[in-house]
A and B are shown apart, each in its own frame.
Chain A
Amino acid sequence: MKNSYDIVIIGGGPAGLAAAISAYDEGTKDILILEREDRLGGILNQCIHNGFGLTRFKESLSGPEYASRFIDEVLARNIEVLTQTTVLSLTKDKKITAINTEYGVFTVQAKAVILAMGCRERSRGALNVAGSRPAGIYSAGTAQKYVNIKGYMPGKSVVILGSGDIGLIMARRMTLEGAKVHAVCEIMPYSSGLKRNIAQCLDDFGIPLYLNHTITKIEGDKRVTGVVISKVDENKKPIAGTEMHFDCDTVLFSVGLIPENELTKDAEITLSPRTRGAVVYQNRETLVDGVFACGNVLQVHDLVDFVSEESELAGKSASKYVQEGSKIRDEVEVVNGKNIGYVVPQRLDKNLQGNVKLFFRVTNTFRDCTITAKCGDTVLLQRKKKIVVPGEMETLLLTDAKIAQASGKIEVVLEENV
Protein backbone atom coordinates (compact mmCIF):
# COMPACT_ATOMS: atom_id res chain seq x y z
CA MET A 1 0.00 0.00 0.00
CA LYS A 2 1.18 3.52 -0.83
CA ASN A 3 0.16 6.94 0.46
CA SER A 4 -1.13 8.16 -2.87
CA TYR A 5 -2.68 6.78 -6.03
CA ASP A 6 -3.83 8.18 -9.34
CA ILE A 7 -7.26 6.63 -8.86
CA VAL A 8 -8.87 5.25 -5.72
CA ILE A 9 -12.12 3.32 -6.15
CA ILE A 10 -14.45 2.97 -3.17
CA GLY A 11 -16.37 -0.32 -3.46
CA GLY A 12 -15.42 -3.55 -5.22
CA GLY A 13 -18.82 -4.56 -6.59
CA PRO A 14 -19.58 -4.74 -10.31
CA ALA A 15 -19.36 -0.93 -10.56
CA GLY A 16 -15.94 -0.63 -8.94
CA LEU A 17 -14.57 -3.59 -10.89
CA ALA A 18 -15.70 -2.35 -14.31
CA ALA A 19 -14.44 1.16 -13.53
CA ALA A 20 -11.03 -0.18 -12.51
CA ILE A 21 -10.63 -2.25 -15.67
CA SER A 22 -11.57 0.57 -18.02
CA ALA A 23 -9.45 3.18 -16.21
CA TYR A 24 -6.48 0.82 -16.45
CA ASP A 25 -7.08 0.14 -20.13
CA GLU A 26 -7.27 3.90 -20.78
CA GLY A 27 -3.71 4.17 -19.52
CA THR A 28 -3.99 5.05 -15.82
CA LYS A 29 -2.52 2.02 -14.09
CA ASP A 30 -1.89 3.34 -10.59
CA ILE A 31 -5.23 2.26 -9.08
CA LEU A 32 -6.39 1.10 -5.64
CA ILE A 33 -9.74 -0.60 -4.95
CA LEU A 34 -11.06 -0.47 -1.37
CA GLU A 35 -13.71 -3.05 -0.43
CA ARG A 36 -15.41 -3.54 2.94
CA GLU A 37 -16.25 -7.25 2.54
CA ASP A 38 -13.75 -10.11 2.47
CA ARG A 39 -14.07 -10.57 -1.28
CA LEU A 40 -14.77 -8.64 -4.45
CA GLY A 41 -18.08 -8.88 -6.30
CA GLY A 42 -20.42 -6.81 -4.13
CA ILE A 43 -24.03 -7.83 -3.80
CA LEU A 44 -23.66 -10.24 -6.73
CA ASN A 45 -22.06 -12.79 -4.40
CA GLN A 46 -25.42 -13.44 -2.78
CA CYS A 47 -27.42 -13.29 -6.04
CA ILE A 48 -27.03 -16.96 -6.97
CA HIS A 49 -30.00 -16.95 -9.36
CA ASN A 50 -29.40 -16.69 -13.08
CA GLY A 51 -30.32 -14.02 -15.60
CA PHE A 52 -27.29 -11.74 -15.31
CA GLY A 53 -25.27 -10.73 -18.35
CA LEU A 54 -27.83 -11.29 -21.12
CA THR A 55 -27.09 -7.90 -22.67
CA ARG A 56 -23.36 -7.97 -22.18
CA PHE A 57 -22.34 -11.60 -22.63
CA LYS A 58 -25.44 -12.95 -24.41
CA GLU A 59 -25.54 -15.63 -21.74
CA SER A 60 -27.64 -16.14 -18.65
CA LEU A 61 -25.15 -16.10 -15.77
CA SER A 62 -25.54 -16.31 -12.00
CA GLY A 63 -24.40 -13.30 -9.95
CA PRO A 64 -21.10 -14.90 -8.87
CA GLU A 65 -20.39 -15.99 -12.46
CA TYR A 66 -20.99 -12.48 -13.74
CA ALA A 67 -18.77 -10.99 -11.02
CA SER A 68 -15.98 -13.49 -11.63
CA ARG A 69 -15.60 -12.37 -15.25
CA PHE A 70 -14.69 -8.91 -13.95
CA ILE A 71 -12.69 -10.10 -10.94
CA ASP A 72 -10.51 -12.19 -13.29
CA GLU A 73 -9.88 -9.12 -15.45
CA VAL A 74 -8.92 -7.03 -12.43
CA LEU A 75 -6.53 -9.71 -11.17
CA ALA A 76 -5.01 -10.15 -14.65
CA ARG A 77 -4.08 -6.45 -14.61
CA ASN A 78 -2.51 -6.69 -11.16
CA ILE A 79 -4.69 -3.83 -9.93
CA GLU A 80 -4.16 -3.32 -6.20
CA VAL A 81 -7.10 -4.38 -4.03
CA LEU A 82 -7.60 -4.07 -0.28
CA THR A 83 -10.53 -6.15 0.98
CA GLN A 84 -11.95 -6.05 4.53
CA THR A 85 -11.21 -2.35 4.35
CA THR A 86 -13.95 0.15 5.13
CA VAL A 87 -13.73 3.73 3.94
CA LEU A 88 -14.67 6.03 6.80
CA SER A 89 -14.48 9.41 5.14
CA LEU A 90 -13.75 11.29 1.98
CA THR A 91 -12.88 14.95 1.56
CA LYS A 92 -13.38 17.34 -1.34
CA ASP A 93 -9.64 17.38 -1.98
CA LYS A 94 -9.76 13.62 -2.40
CA LYS A 95 -8.23 12.38 0.83
CA ILE A 96 -9.67 9.03 1.80
CA THR A 97 -9.58 7.67 5.34
CA ALA A 98 -10.13 3.96 5.75
CA ILE A 99 -9.72 1.22 8.34
CA ASN A 100 -8.64 -2.40 8.26
CA THR A 101 -7.00 -4.83 10.65
CA GLU A 102 -3.63 -4.73 8.86
CA TYR A 103 -3.01 -0.96 8.78
CA GLY A 104 -5.50 0.33 11.35
CA VAL A 105 -6.85 3.74 10.35
CA PHE A 106 -4.98 5.18 7.37
CA THR A 107 -5.29 7.95 4.79
CA VAL A 108 -4.57 7.88 1.08
CA GLN A 109 -4.47 10.79 -1.33
CA ALA A 110 -6.03 10.26 -4.77
CA LYS A 111 -5.84 12.35 -7.92
CA ALA A 112 -9.26 11.00 -8.88
CA VAL A 113 -11.87 9.12 -6.83
CA ILE A 114 -14.57 6.80 -8.14
CA LEU A 115 -17.56 6.30 -5.86
CA ALA A 116 -18.93 2.76 -6.28
CA MET A 117 -20.49 1.98 -2.90
CA GLY A 118 -23.73 0.53 -4.28
CA CYS A 119 -27.03 0.83 -2.47
CA ARG A 120 -28.76 -0.40 0.62
CA GLU A 121 -32.29 -1.59 1.22
CA ARG A 122 -34.97 0.63 2.62
CA SER A 123 -35.77 -0.69 6.06
CA ARG A 124 -39.02 -1.49 7.76
CA GLY A 125 -38.58 1.67 9.81
CA ALA A 126 -39.28 3.73 6.71
CA LEU A 127 -42.67 2.06 6.50
CA ASN A 128 -44.54 2.34 9.73
CA VAL A 129 -46.41 -0.91 10.16
CA ALA A 130 -48.42 -1.30 13.36
CA GLY A 131 -47.50 -3.98 15.86
CA SER A 132 -44.56 -4.73 18.14
CA ARG A 133 -41.19 -5.76 16.73
CA PRO A 134 -40.97 -9.51 17.15
CA ALA A 135 -38.21 -11.62 15.61
CA GLY A 136 -38.81 -12.89 12.09
CA ILE A 137 -38.85 -9.59 10.21
CA TYR A 138 -36.12 -9.20 7.63
CA SER A 139 -35.34 -7.22 4.55
CA ALA A 140 -35.36 -9.48 1.49
CA GLY A 141 -31.65 -8.82 0.93
CA THR A 142 -30.78 -9.88 4.47
CA ALA A 143 -32.80 -13.07 4.00
CA GLN A 144 -30.93 -13.61 0.73
CA LYS A 145 -27.63 -13.35 2.54
CA TYR A 146 -28.76 -15.80 5.24
CA VAL A 147 -29.98 -18.41 2.77
CA ASN A 148 -27.33 -18.11 0.07
CA ILE A 149 -24.16 -17.24 1.99
CA LYS A 150 -24.75 -18.58 5.48
CA GLY A 151 -27.02 -21.50 4.54
CA TYR A 152 -29.66 -20.79 7.11
CA MET A 153 -33.40 -20.42 6.48
CA PRO A 154 -34.88 -17.43 8.31
CA GLY A 155 -38.32 -19.08 8.50
CA LYS A 156 -40.77 -21.60 7.09
CA SER A 157 -43.95 -19.66 6.55
CA VAL A 158 -43.55 -16.33 4.84
CA VAL A 159 -45.42 -13.19 3.74
CA ILE A 160 -43.58 -10.66 1.60
CA LEU A 161 -44.28 -6.93 1.59
CA GLY A 162 -43.26 -5.17 -1.61
CA SER A 163 -42.86 -6.64 -5.05
CA GLY A 164 -39.28 -5.54 -5.73
CA ASP A 165 -37.15 -8.05 -7.62
CA ILE A 166 -35.21 -9.16 -4.56
CA GLY A 167 -38.46 -10.06 -2.78
CA LEU A 168 -39.71 -11.98 -5.82
CA ILE A 169 -36.43 -13.85 -6.15
CA MET A 170 -36.57 -14.73 -2.44
CA ALA A 171 -40.17 -15.96 -2.76
CA ARG A 172 -38.91 -18.58 -5.22
CA ARG A 173 -35.72 -19.32 -3.34
CA MET A 174 -37.45 -19.98 -0.02
CA THR A 175 -40.21 -22.01 -1.72
CA LEU A 176 -37.60 -24.23 -3.36
CA GLU A 177 -35.96 -24.68 0.04
CA GLY A 178 -39.24 -25.92 1.49
CA ALA A 179 -40.87 -22.79 2.92
CA LYS A 180 -44.49 -21.84 2.27
CA VAL A 181 -44.75 -18.33 0.82
CA HIS A 182 -48.37 -17.26 1.30
CA ALA A 183 -48.48 -13.96 -0.52
CA VAL A 184 -46.65 -10.95 -1.87
CA CYS A 185 -48.46 -7.69 -1.27
CA GLU A 186 -47.73 -4.45 -3.08
CA ILE A 187 -49.19 -1.10 -2.10
CA MET A 188 -48.93 0.30 -5.64
CA PRO A 189 -51.28 -0.75 -8.46
CA TYR A 190 -48.28 -2.19 -10.32
CA SER A 191 -45.35 -4.40 -9.41
CA SER A 192 -41.96 -2.79 -9.12
CA GLY A 193 -40.33 -6.07 -10.19
CA LEU A 194 -39.64 -7.38 -13.67
CA LYS A 195 -42.47 -9.24 -15.43
CA ARG A 196 -40.28 -12.29 -15.89
CA ASN A 197 -39.79 -12.49 -12.13
CA ILE A 198 -43.54 -12.38 -11.52
CA ALA A 199 -43.86 -15.26 -13.99
CA GLN A 200 -40.98 -17.45 -12.87
CA CYS A 201 -40.88 -16.66 -9.14
CA LEU A 202 -44.58 -16.31 -8.26
CA ASP A 203 -46.78 -17.81 -11.02
CA ASP A 204 -44.61 -20.93 -11.30
CA PHE A 205 -45.32 -21.71 -7.66
CA GLY A 206 -48.87 -20.41 -7.41
CA ILE A 207 -47.87 -17.58 -5.05
CA PRO A 208 -50.51 -14.81 -5.18
CA LEU A 209 -49.53 -11.18 -5.77
CA TYR A 210 -51.95 -8.72 -4.16
CA LEU A 211 -51.64 -5.30 -5.81
CA ASN A 212 -53.04 -2.25 -3.94
CA HIS A 213 -52.49 -4.12 -0.67
CA THR A 214 -50.28 -3.53 2.32
CA ILE A 215 -49.52 -5.16 5.66
CA THR A 216 -51.58 -3.38 8.30
CA LYS A 217 -50.63 -5.47 11.30
CA ILE A 218 -47.84 -7.77 12.35
CA GLU A 219 -48.82 -10.18 15.13
CA GLY A 220 -46.62 -11.98 17.58
CA ASP A 221 -44.78 -11.25 20.77
CA LYS A 222 -41.33 -12.85 20.67
CA ARG A 223 -41.65 -14.18 17.12
CA VAL A 224 -43.97 -13.24 14.27
CA THR A 225 -47.10 -15.42 14.36
CA GLY A 226 -49.16 -13.79 11.65
CA VAL A 227 -49.95 -10.70 9.60
CA VAL A 228 -53.02 -8.84 8.46
CA ILE A 229 -53.03 -7.37 4.99
CA SER A 230 -55.57 -4.88 3.70
CA LYS A 231 -56.54 -3.32 0.42
CA VAL A 232 -55.71 0.38 0.05
CA ASP A 233 -57.62 3.19 -1.65
CA GLU A 234 -56.20 5.73 -4.15
CA ASN A 235 -54.59 7.62 -1.25
CA LYS A 236 -52.88 4.45 -0.02
CA LYS A 237 -55.14 4.34 3.04
CA PRO A 238 -56.23 0.86 4.16
CA ILE A 239 -59.91 0.14 3.44
CA ALA A 240 -61.80 -1.22 6.45
CA GLY A 241 -63.41 -4.60 5.88
CA THR A 242 -60.82 -5.81 3.36
CA GLU A 243 -58.52 -7.42 5.93
CA MET A 244 -57.02 -10.85 5.21
CA HIS A 245 -55.17 -12.80 7.86
CA PHE A 246 -52.21 -15.12 7.30
CA ASP A 247 -50.46 -17.28 9.87
CA CYS A 248 -46.71 -16.96 9.27
CA ASP A 249 -43.41 -16.92 11.14
CA THR A 250 -41.54 -14.57 8.81
CA VAL A 251 -42.13 -11.24 7.06
CA LEU A 252 -39.79 -10.06 4.32
CA PHE A 253 -39.62 -6.45 3.21
CA SER A 254 -38.69 -5.69 -0.37
CA VAL A 255 -39.55 -2.04 -0.58
CA GLY A 256 -36.78 -0.49 -2.57
CA LEU A 257 -33.14 0.44 -2.60
CA ILE A 258 -31.42 3.71 -1.68
CA PRO A 259 -27.98 4.74 -2.95
CA GLU A 260 -25.38 4.53 -0.16
CA ASN A 261 -24.17 8.13 -0.07
CA GLU A 262 -22.97 8.88 3.46
CA LEU A 263 -19.40 9.39 2.21
CA THR A 264 -20.60 11.51 -0.67
CA LYS A 265 -22.45 13.83 1.72
CA ASP A 266 -19.33 14.08 3.91
CA ALA A 267 -17.37 15.35 0.97
CA GLU A 268 -20.04 17.99 0.31
CA ILE A 269 -20.74 16.58 -3.12
CA THR A 270 -24.12 17.78 -4.42
CA LEU A 271 -26.77 15.03 -4.38
CA SER A 272 -29.95 14.91 -6.40
CA PRO A 273 -33.05 14.69 -4.20
CA ARG A 274 -34.63 12.68 -7.01
CA THR A 275 -32.08 9.87 -7.35
CA ARG A 276 -30.47 10.28 -3.91
CA GLY A 277 -27.20 9.88 -5.82
CA ALA A 278 -24.70 12.53 -6.87
CA VAL A 279 -25.50 15.06 -9.58
CA VAL A 280 -23.24 14.13 -12.51
CA TYR A 281 -22.17 15.18 -16.00
CA GLN A 282 -22.42 12.67 -18.82
CA ASN A 283 -18.89 11.40 -18.07
CA ARG A 284 -20.16 10.56 -14.54
CA GLU A 285 -18.08 13.29 -12.92
CA THR A 286 -19.79 14.83 -9.89
CA LEU A 287 -19.84 18.57 -9.24
CA VAL A 288 -16.52 18.12 -7.40
CA ASP A 289 -13.71 17.97 -9.99
CA GLY A 290 -12.08 14.56 -10.20
CA VAL A 291 -14.72 12.68 -8.18
CA PHE A 292 -16.80 10.28 -10.27
CA ALA A 293 -19.76 8.06 -9.38
CA CYS A 294 -21.22 4.97 -11.03
CA GLY A 295 -23.46 1.98 -10.44
CA ASN A 296 -26.10 1.85 -7.75
CA VAL A 297 -24.52 4.60 -5.67
CA LEU A 298 -25.47 6.95 -8.51
CA GLN A 299 -28.86 5.58 -9.51
CA VAL A 300 -30.55 2.31 -8.63
CA HIS A 301 -30.20 0.10 -11.69
CA ASP A 302 -32.42 -2.90 -12.49
CA LEU A 303 -29.76 -4.68 -14.47
CA VAL A 304 -26.15 -5.18 -13.64
CA ASP A 305 -25.28 -5.05 -17.36
CA PHE A 306 -26.06 -1.33 -17.31
CA VAL A 307 -24.05 -0.91 -14.11
CA SER A 308 -21.02 -2.27 -15.92
CA GLU A 309 -21.60 -0.04 -18.94
CA GLU A 310 -21.97 3.08 -16.80
CA SER A 311 -18.93 2.21 -14.71
CA GLU A 312 -16.71 1.73 -17.74
CA LEU A 313 -17.64 5.24 -18.74
CA ALA A 314 -16.74 6.53 -15.26
CA GLY A 315 -13.42 4.65 -15.27
CA LYS A 316 -12.49 6.00 -18.66
CA SER A 317 -13.39 9.55 -17.63
CA ALA A 318 -11.38 9.29 -14.40
CA SER A 319 -8.35 8.13 -16.36
CA LYS A 320 -8.74 11.06 -18.73
CA TYR A 321 -9.01 13.45 -15.80
CA VAL A 322 -5.78 12.09 -14.29
CA GLN A 323 -3.97 12.52 -17.59
CA GLU A 324 -5.44 15.81 -18.78
CA GLY A 325 -6.80 17.59 -15.72
CA SER A 326 -10.06 19.52 -15.62
CA LYS A 327 -11.30 21.50 -18.59
CA ILE A 328 -13.55 24.49 -19.11
CA ARG A 329 -17.19 23.44 -19.32
CA ASP A 330 -20.05 24.54 -21.52
CA GLU A 331 -23.00 23.42 -19.44
CA VAL A 332 -26.55 22.42 -20.18
CA GLU A 333 -28.84 21.29 -17.38
CA VAL A 334 -31.06 18.22 -17.85
CA VAL A 335 -34.27 18.13 -15.86
CA ASN A 336 -37.20 15.79 -15.38
CA GLY A 337 -40.46 17.30 -16.61
CA LYS A 338 -44.04 16.03 -16.66
CA ASN A 339 -44.47 12.36 -15.65
CA ILE A 340 -40.72 11.74 -15.37
CA GLY A 341 -39.24 10.81 -11.97
CA TYR A 342 -35.60 11.58 -12.63
CA VAL A 343 -32.99 11.85 -15.38
CA VAL A 344 -29.30 10.89 -15.21
CA PRO A 345 -27.01 12.64 -16.08
CA GLN A 346 -28.39 15.88 -14.68
CA ARG A 347 -25.80 17.98 -16.52
CA LEU A 348 -24.29 17.89 -19.99
CA ASP A 349 -20.96 19.45 -20.83
CA LYS A 350 -21.01 20.39 -24.51
CA ASN A 351 -17.22 20.39 -24.56
CA LEU A 352 -17.22 16.64 -23.95
CA GLN A 353 -17.65 14.85 -27.22
CA GLY A 354 -19.83 11.88 -28.07
CA ASN A 355 -23.43 10.76 -27.91
CA VAL A 356 -25.15 10.69 -24.53
CA LYS A 357 -27.60 8.12 -23.23
CA LEU A 358 -30.13 9.67 -20.87
CA PHE A 359 -31.41 7.25 -18.22
CA PHE A 360 -34.74 7.96 -16.57
CA ARG A 361 -37.77 6.52 -14.85
CA VAL A 362 -41.41 7.40 -15.40
CA THR A 363 -43.67 8.17 -12.43
CA ASN A 364 -46.54 5.83 -13.28
CA THR A 365 -47.66 3.19 -15.76
CA PHE A 366 -48.54 4.80 -19.10
CA ARG A 367 -49.82 3.23 -22.32
CA ASP A 368 -49.49 4.82 -25.76
CA CYS A 369 -47.34 7.76 -24.82
CA THR A 370 -44.62 9.94 -26.27
CA ILE A 371 -41.39 10.76 -24.52
CA THR A 372 -39.71 13.98 -25.61
CA ALA A 373 -36.39 15.63 -24.88
CA LYS A 374 -36.77 19.33 -25.61
CA CYS A 375 -34.95 22.56 -25.17
CA GLY A 376 -37.48 25.34 -24.84
CA ASP A 377 -39.73 24.79 -27.86
CA THR A 378 -37.10 22.89 -29.83
CA VAL A 379 -37.73 19.16 -29.87
CA LEU A 380 -34.40 17.33 -29.77
CA LEU A 381 -35.75 13.82 -29.75
CA GLN A 382 -39.07 12.04 -29.54
CA ARG A 383 -39.96 8.40 -28.93
CA LYS A 384 -43.37 6.76 -28.99
CA LYS A 385 -43.91 3.98 -26.46
CA LYS A 386 -46.66 1.36 -26.20
CA ILE A 387 -46.16 0.94 -22.48
CA VAL A 388 -43.79 2.28 -19.83
CA VAL A 389 -43.65 1.33 -16.14
CA PRO A 390 -41.79 2.90 -13.20
CA GLY A 391 -40.11 -0.43 -12.42
CA GLU A 392 -38.07 -0.31 -15.60
CA MET A 393 -35.41 2.21 -16.48
CA GLU A 394 -35.88 3.95 -19.83
CA THR A 395 -33.25 5.49 -22.07
CA LEU A 396 -33.00 8.10 -24.83
CA LEU A 397 -29.90 8.54 -26.97
CA LEU A 398 -28.97 12.15 -27.64
CA THR A 399 -26.50 12.44 -30.48
CA ASP A 400 -23.59 14.87 -30.59
CA ALA A 401 -25.44 16.91 -33.19
CA LYS A 402 -28.55 17.22 -31.01
CA ILE A 403 -26.52 18.23 -27.97
CA ALA A 404 -24.84 20.94 -30.07
CA GLN A 405 -28.33 22.44 -30.68
CA ALA A 406 -29.11 22.60 -26.96
CA SER A 407 -28.57 25.51 -24.64
CA GLY A 408 -29.67 26.36 -21.12
CA LYS A 409 -31.91 23.49 -20.13
CA ILE A 410 -33.07 20.19 -21.63
CA GLU A 411 -36.34 18.87 -20.29
CA VAL A 412 -37.54 15.28 -20.61
CA VAL A 413 -41.33 14.92 -20.57
CA LEU A 414 -43.90 12.20 -21.13
CA GLU A 415 -47.24 12.99 -22.77
CA GLU A 416 -50.08 10.53 -23.14
CA ASN A 417 -51.27 10.21 -26.75
CA VAL A 418 -54.96 10.96 -27.17
Chain B
Amino acid sequence: MSKINLTCIECPIGCNIEVEMVDGKPVSITGNSCPRGKLYAENEVVCPKRVVTSTVRATNGVLVPVKTDKPIKKSEMFEVMKKINQTTCKLPVKIGDILVENISDDANLVATGNA
Protein backbone atom coordinates (compact mmCIF):
# COMPACT_ATOMS: atom_id res chain seq x y z
CA MET B 1 0.00 0.00 0.00
CA SER B 2 1.23 3.50 -0.74
CA LYS B 3 -0.10 6.96 -0.04
CA ILE B 4 -0.32 9.91 -2.40
CA ASN B 5 -0.91 13.48 -1.22
CA LEU B 6 -2.65 15.84 -3.60
CA THR B 7 -3.90 19.42 -3.60
CA CYS B 8 -7.33 19.54 -5.20
CA ILE B 9 -7.37 22.18 -7.95
CA GLU B 10 -11.10 22.12 -8.63
CA CYS B 11 -11.89 25.21 -6.55
CA PRO B 12 -10.05 27.97 -4.66
CA ILE B 13 -10.30 26.15 -1.30
CA GLY B 14 -7.55 23.74 -2.39
CA CYS B 15 -8.21 20.80 -0.04
CA ASN B 16 -5.33 18.46 0.80
CA ILE B 17 -6.41 15.02 -0.31
CA GLU B 18 -4.78 11.74 0.72
CA VAL B 19 -5.17 8.74 -1.55
CA GLU B 20 -4.30 5.20 -0.49
CA MET B 21 -3.22 3.06 -3.40
CA VAL B 22 -3.22 -0.72 -3.66
CA ASP B 23 -1.90 -2.30 -6.87
CA GLY B 24 -2.01 1.06 -8.65
CA LYS B 25 -5.65 1.62 -7.76
CA PRO B 26 -7.09 4.13 -5.29
CA VAL B 27 -8.76 2.29 -2.40
CA SER B 28 -9.40 5.17 -0.02
CA ILE B 29 -9.69 8.92 -0.57
CA THR B 30 -9.78 11.33 2.39
CA GLY B 31 -9.47 15.07 2.95
CA ASN B 32 -11.76 16.23 0.16
CA SER B 33 -14.65 18.47 1.21
CA CYS B 34 -16.93 17.63 -1.69
CA PRO B 35 -17.57 14.98 -4.35
CA ARG B 36 -15.71 16.96 -7.02
CA GLY B 37 -12.55 16.51 -5.01
CA LYS B 38 -13.03 12.73 -4.89
CA LEU B 39 -13.46 12.61 -8.66
CA TYR B 40 -10.41 14.81 -9.12
CA ALA B 41 -8.28 12.53 -6.95
CA GLU B 42 -9.50 9.37 -8.69
CA ASN B 43 -8.46 10.75 -12.06
CA GLU B 44 -5.30 12.42 -10.82
CA VAL B 45 -3.70 9.22 -9.52
CA VAL B 46 -4.47 7.32 -12.72
CA CYS B 47 -4.18 9.87 -15.53
CA PRO B 48 -3.81 13.54 -14.56
CA LYS B 49 -5.60 15.93 -16.88
CA ARG B 50 -5.63 19.72 -17.24
CA VAL B 51 -7.52 22.33 -19.20
CA VAL B 52 -5.00 24.26 -21.31
CA THR B 53 -5.60 27.97 -21.93
CA SER B 54 -3.67 30.12 -24.37
CA THR B 55 -4.19 32.50 -27.29
CA VAL B 56 -4.51 32.10 -31.06
CA ARG B 57 -3.48 34.85 -33.46
CA ALA B 58 -6.23 35.97 -35.81
CA THR B 59 -5.39 36.89 -39.39
CA ASN B 60 -5.46 40.63 -38.52
CA GLY B 61 -2.95 40.13 -35.69
CA VAL B 62 -5.40 40.32 -32.76
CA LEU B 63 -5.01 37.61 -30.10
CA VAL B 64 -8.06 35.47 -29.36
CA PRO B 65 -8.10 33.75 -25.94
CA VAL B 66 -8.73 30.00 -26.19
CA LYS B 67 -9.07 26.88 -24.03
CA THR B 68 -9.49 23.16 -24.45
CA ASP B 69 -13.17 22.46 -23.82
CA LYS B 70 -12.25 19.38 -21.76
CA PRO B 71 -9.21 18.59 -19.64
CA ILE B 72 -6.49 16.97 -21.74
CA LYS B 73 -3.75 14.59 -20.59
CA LYS B 74 -1.15 16.51 -18.60
CA SER B 75 1.57 14.67 -20.53
CA GLU B 76 0.26 16.16 -23.79
CA MET B 77 0.17 19.81 -22.70
CA PHE B 78 3.26 20.83 -24.65
CA GLU B 79 2.11 18.92 -27.71
CA VAL B 80 -1.21 20.79 -27.57
CA MET B 81 0.61 24.11 -27.10
CA LYS B 82 2.57 23.40 -30.27
CA LYS B 83 -0.67 22.86 -32.18
CA ILE B 84 -2.22 26.01 -30.70
CA ASN B 85 0.76 28.09 -31.79
CA GLN B 86 0.42 26.78 -35.35
CA THR B 87 -3.28 27.74 -35.46
CA THR B 88 -4.66 30.95 -36.89
CA CYS B 89 -8.27 32.06 -37.23
CA LYS B 90 -10.39 34.55 -39.11
CA LEU B 91 -12.45 37.21 -37.38
CA PRO B 92 -15.09 37.61 -36.16
CA VAL B 93 -14.81 34.97 -33.47
CA LYS B 94 -17.37 34.41 -30.74
CA ILE B 95 -17.04 32.74 -27.35
CA GLY B 96 -17.51 28.99 -27.80
CA ASP B 97 -16.49 28.85 -31.50
CA ILE B 98 -14.47 25.71 -32.19
CA LEU B 99 -11.09 26.66 -33.67
CA VAL B 100 -9.53 23.15 -33.73
CA GLU B 101 -11.56 19.96 -33.48
CA ASN B 102 -10.16 17.10 -31.41
CA ILE B 103 -6.95 18.90 -30.56
CA SER B 104 -6.26 16.11 -28.07
CA ASP B 105 -8.47 13.01 -27.91
CA ASP B 106 -12.05 14.33 -27.89
CA ALA B 107 -11.22 17.82 -26.58
CA ASN B 108 -11.71 20.76 -28.95
CA LEU B 109 -9.93 24.11 -28.88
CA VAL B 110 -12.58 26.81 -28.37
CA ALA B 111 -12.51 30.61 -28.22
CA THR B 112 -13.08 32.15 -24.77
CA GLY B 113 -13.32 35.75 -25.93
CA ASN B 114 -15.23 37.69 -28.58
CA ALA B 115 -13.01 39.34 -31.18
Contact = CB atoms under 8 A, between A and B. Distances in A.
Interface of A: 45, 48-51, 54, 60-65, 68, 147-151, 176-177, 194-196, 198-200, 203-204, 302-303, 392
Nearest to A176: B81
Nearest to B85: A177
Contact of A62 (B7, B50, B112): B112
7 contacts: A48-B67, A62-B112, A64-B95, A151-B57, A177-B81, A199-B6, A204-B74
Interface of B: 6-12, 14, 50-55, 57, 61, 63, 65-67, 74, 77-78, 81, 85, 95, 112-114
B9 A54 contact: no
A222 B74 CA distance: 38
Chain A CB within 10 A, most for which of B53, B78, B95: B53
B113 A68 contact: yes
A275 B57 CA distance: 39
Contacts, number: 78
Contacts of A50: 51, 53, 67, 112
Given A68-B95, A204-B74, 17 more contacts: A45-B113, A48-B53, A48-B54, A51-B12, A54-B12, A62-B53, A62-B67, A62-B112, A65-B112, A68-B113, A68-B114, A149-B63, A176-B54, A176-B81, A177-B85, A194-B12, A196-B14
Contact of A176 (B52, B66, B112): B52
Nearest to B51: A50
Nearest to B115: A64
Given A176-B77, A176-B78, A62 B14 contact: no
B7 A196 contact: yes
Contact of B65 (A60, A148, A194, A195): A148
B108 to A, nearest CB: 15
A297 to B, nearest CB: 22
A200 B48 CA distance: 11
Contacts of B85: 177
B67 A303 contact: no
Contacts of B66: 48
A303 B14 CA distance: 14
Given A50-B67, A64-B113, A148-B65, A199 B14 contact: yes
A165 B28 CA distance: 31
A49 B7 contact: no
A199 B65 contact: no
Nearest to B16: A195
Contacts of A63: 65
Nearest to A152: B63
Contacts of B10: 196
A196 B57 contact: no
A48 B66 CA distance: 8
Contact of B63 (A65, A68, A151): A151
Nearest to A51: B12
Instruction: Please name the 6 residue pairs, one residue from A and one from B, whose CB atoms are nearest each other, closest first.
Output: A195-B14, A64-B113, A62-B112, A199-B7, A48-B65, A196-B9
A150 B74 CA distance: 27
Given A48-B53, A50-B51, A50-B53, A196 B63 contact: no
A63 B114 CA distance: 12
A200 B50 contact: yes
Given A68-B114, A199-B7, A148 B55 contact: yes
Nearest to B7: A199
A204 B53 contact: no
Contacts of B61: 151
B53 A196 contact: no
Contacts of A151: 55, 57, 61, 63
A49 B112 CA distance: 10
